[in-house]
Amino acid sequence: MKTVLVASSKGGVGKTTIATHLAARSALDGARTVLVDADPQRSSMRWAERRAALETAVLPLDGTRRGWDQRLPGDADAVVVDAAAGAMARDLDVFLEAADAVVVPTTASTLDLDATVAFLDSLAQHPRLRRGELRVGLVANRLKSNTVSAQQAIGLLARWPYPLLAQLRDSQAYVVLTAMGKSLFDYGSANVREHQADWAPLMKWLKKA
């Protein structure tokens, strides 16, 4: 069973969108997938509930309650954890102990980048990361690629000690699909395939995690 933790100390960077898309992709690939929602806002839980009627439904699990790991089905193939917004590494220890990989989203905003630095600094102190047992990767989210701020942010992230795994464009499609309990991966039109291609490096990295 592979466990991916999606976490950031800054709200509003698209953490839930990334977690739900990873869960959807996993389910579409045929894996028995559990989506653990550790955020009190319960956005991932509501997404999973909207998706329940699909053949590629994922099982929602309340990660705000103690013993969430004891409620994981024994036949689960994949677990995606949507961490609470604002949580630092010390708040995520139970999830970090279980995770095979951590995906950290950020946007091009200076405030978001600064908050991400603080989060990564706290993460670097975790024993599993220091022992090389835990892989960490970055996702630049909601990018307007033709803007100076986006290009500057990408250049900065490329110099950080963790790999920049994906550059996800800013699109209203994410808002619409999440509200429906769906993802980009549920569709195959030409426009959607362009968006899906943004995710390819991240998916390849997670397969190796």
Q: Model confidence at 189, in pLDDT bands (50, 70, 90)?
A: confident
For residues 140 and 109, the answer to whether their CB atoms sit within 8 Å is no
Crossing angle of helices 110-124 and 148-157, in 10° steps, is: 10
Residue-wise pLDDT tens digits, 136-174:
999 999 998 788 988 999 999 999 999 999 999 999 999
Query: 53 falls in which pLDDT band (50, 70, 90)?
Result: very high
Summarised one tens digit per residue, pLDDT across range 106-147 is: 999 999 999 999 999 999 999 999 999 999 999 999 998 788
Residues 6+ apart with CB under 8 A from 154: 108, 140, 143, 164, 167
H or E segment and range at residue 106: strand 101-106
- The pLDDT assigned to 188 comes to 87
Q: Which of 4, 179, 33 is nearest to 104 (CA)?
A: 4
Domains of the chain, by residue range, sit at 2-202
The mean pLDDT of 29-38, rounded to a whole number, is: 97
Residues in the chain, total: 209
As a whole number, the mean pLDDT across the chain is 94
Q: H or E segment at 23?
A: helix 15-28
- CATH number for 2-202 (one of 3.40.50.720, 3.40.50.300, 3.40.980.10, 3.10.129.10): it is 3.40.50.300
